[in-house]
Amino acid sequence: MLSIADPRLLTLLSHQNWTPKMPIFTATPPPSLGSVPTHISFLSHLLTGPDVSSSSSSCSLLIPYSSVSKVSHKFLGRRRPLVCAASEVSSKAFERPDREAGQAAAAARALQEAAASPDAIRLARRSADWKAARNYNDGRLIYEGRIEGFNNGGLLVRFRTLVGFLPFPQLSPSHFCTEPRRSPQEVARSLTGSLISVKVIQVDEEKRKLIFSEKEAVWSKFSDQVNIGDIFEGKVGSLEDYGAFVHLRFPDGLYHLTGLVHVSEVSWDLVQDVRDILTEGDEVRVKVLSIDREKARMTLSIKQLEEDPLLETLDKVIPQEGADSSDSLSNSDSSNIEPLPGLETIFEELLKENGIGDVRITRQGFEKRVVSQDLQLWLSNAPATNQKFTLLARAGRQVQEIQLTTSLDQEGIKKALQRVLERVP
């Protein structure tokens, strides 16, 4: 029990530095005590000022509830303090605040402490903004931020109280497919101060890393307008060993999305290095082969929009109507036709393929011009009839028609022929 005359309370109150505004309780000593004791008179002066007479029979002691609580925690552990200065103390003076009033007081104290600490406010806001960035990343949401500057690697984008990084490779291709062509720094300089739609692709609060992508935001907006088999005008972007990236032009005239043309889809001819065929900035037509909407990727083809040079017939190479003697077709006995150099080895290898029963030359002809001195094999574009399929062998001006007896379809024959040509030197 802590008495109001206890020197510990006197010491505590003397260090509180608070100015009372109204009394908490009034203590009146019983007649048996006579005059007010000296220590209570001292408290009266301490708490209410020098106006109060030390000989007064009663004193108004202004003890805030918070001070009592501090006494409790500092001197009495966790026991509820009991303040008593006389025999008659109003019980209402010591009623604890109800729960709602206590919560309101705690909130008020928290606000006061925050108001007194700007650093705490900034830390709280930044923590909340990192959490918001993670939510944008998890939800794949689009954020519109202002570009505040740039460096050699990309743009600096404001995200609430944070500043994130937008690498140049993550910009939409529409910024670069312009005439005249601009460098990344020129593009960045023109965009500084403007708003840009981006997606958060990486968040690391501990490493203070926040990375954006405009490409992914643009993909969300325009990918639904693309379907497999669609044909687009495009512009060649970067070239890699494995293929070329092509930017697709949309009806608004801008290049919003980018797809990959694999080196095998650049040309029907064998391409060792895509840089031998394409140059950055070239305008091409492409066909959409596949779309991965989850990974924001699509594959394109240039050669699918060109006629397969292997799909030919002898009648197309050498038209019969109006043909002169130099462009004639010979229907003589195949036994009298000497195979073009290298054909006999190919015939032997073809007969080793499953599904091919017989290979023979049926007729030959001569073209007006030399296509190539090297031996070339072309597939007919006509489907197999009664298990008969036609190949063309060409070298110089000479063209020979070869008939296969096979159970394979056109695609199966093409694969078989490719395997054979890989085996033949």
Higher per-residue pLDDT: 314 or 267:
267
Higher per-residue pLDDT: 317 or 69:
317
Asked, for residue 228, whether it belongs to a domain, the answer is yes
Asked, for residue 140, whether it belongs to a domain, the answer is yes
Residues 141 and 210 in one domain: yes
- Look-up of token digits 């008659």: 88
Higher per-residue pLDDT: 24 or 288:
288
- pLDDT higher than threshold 80 for residue 76: no
Residues 137 and 210 in one domain: yes
Domain termination residue (choose one: 278, 305, 332): 305
Q: In b/e form, how buried is each residue of 348-373, taking b as 16+ CB within 10 angstroms?
A: ebbeebeebeebebbbbbbeeeeeee
Peptide bond into 167 cis (omega under 30): no
Asked, for residue 130, whether it belongs to a domain, the answer is yes
- pLDDT higher than threshold 50 for residue 45: no
pLDDT of 338-358, one tens digit each?
888 888 899 899 999 999 999
Domain termination residue (choose one: 197, 219, 241): 219
pLDDT of 177-202, one tens digit each?
877 778 899 999 999 999 999 999 99
* pLDDT given for residue 228 in this prediction: 92
Residues 215 and 122 in one domain: yes
How far is C-alpha 275 from the geometric centre of its chain's CA atoms? 29
* pLDDT given for residue 311 in this prediction: 52
Residues 250 and 280 in one domain: yes
Residues 190 and 247 in one domain: no
Asked, for residue 382, whether it belongs to a domain, the answer is yes
* pLDDT given for residue 271 in this prediction: 81
CATH of the domain at 299: 2.40.50.140
Higher per-residue pLDDT: 317 or 394:
394
Using DSSP bridges, classify how beta strands 243-249 and 398-406 pair: parallel, antiparallel or unpaired: unpaired
Using DSSP bridges, classify how beta strands 243-249 and 231-240 pair: parallel, antiparallel or unpaired: antiparallel
Calculate mean pLDDT across residues 279-293.
Answer: 92
- Using a pLDDT cut of 90, give the percent of the chain over it: 35
Residues 153 and 186 in one domain: yes
106 falls in which pLDDT band (50, 70, 90)?
confident
Calculate mean pLDDT across residues 70-87.
Answer: 43
Asked, for residue 180, whether it belongs to a domain, the answer is yes
Asked, for residue 54, whether it belongs to a domain, the answer is no
Residues 182 and 245 in one domain: no
* pLDDT given for residue 395 in this prediction: 84
State the pTM of this model. Answer: 0.50
pLDDT of 237-277, one tens digit each?
999 999 999 999 999 889 999 999 999 899 877 788 899 88
* pLDDT given for residue 154 in this prediction: 94
Assign 3-class secondary structure to the chain.
Answer: CEECCCHHHHHHHHCCCCCCCCCCEEECCCHHHCCCCHHHHHHHHHHHCCCCCCCCCCEEECCCHHHHHHHHHHHCCCCCCCEECCCCCCHHHHCCCCHHHHHHHHHHHHHHHHHCCHHHHHHHHHHHHHHHHHHHHHHCCEEEEEEEEECCCEEEEEECCEEEEEEHHHCCHHHCCCCCCCCHHHHHHHHCCCEEEEEEEEEECCCCEEEEEHHHHHHHHHHHHCCCCCEEEEEEEEEECCEEEEEEECCCCCEEEEEEEEHHHCCCCCCCCHHHCCCCCCEEEEEEEEEECCCCEEEEECHHHCCCCCECCHHHHCCCCCCCHHHCEECCCHHHCCCCCCHHHHHHHHCCCCCEEEEEEEEEEECCCCCEEEEEEEECCCCCECCEEEEEEEEECEEEEEEEEECCCHHHHHHHHHHHHHHCC
Asked, for residue 49, whether it belongs to a domain, the answer is no
Residues 202 and 232 in one domain: no
pLDDT of 357-392, one tens digit each?
999 888 888 776 665 678 888 777 677 788 888 888
Domain total for the chain?
3
Range name among 271-280, 289-298, 335-344 with the lowest pLDDT average:
335-344
Mean pLDDT computed over every residue of the chain: 75
Residues 297 and 371 in one domain: no
* Domain that includes residue 201, residue range: 118-219
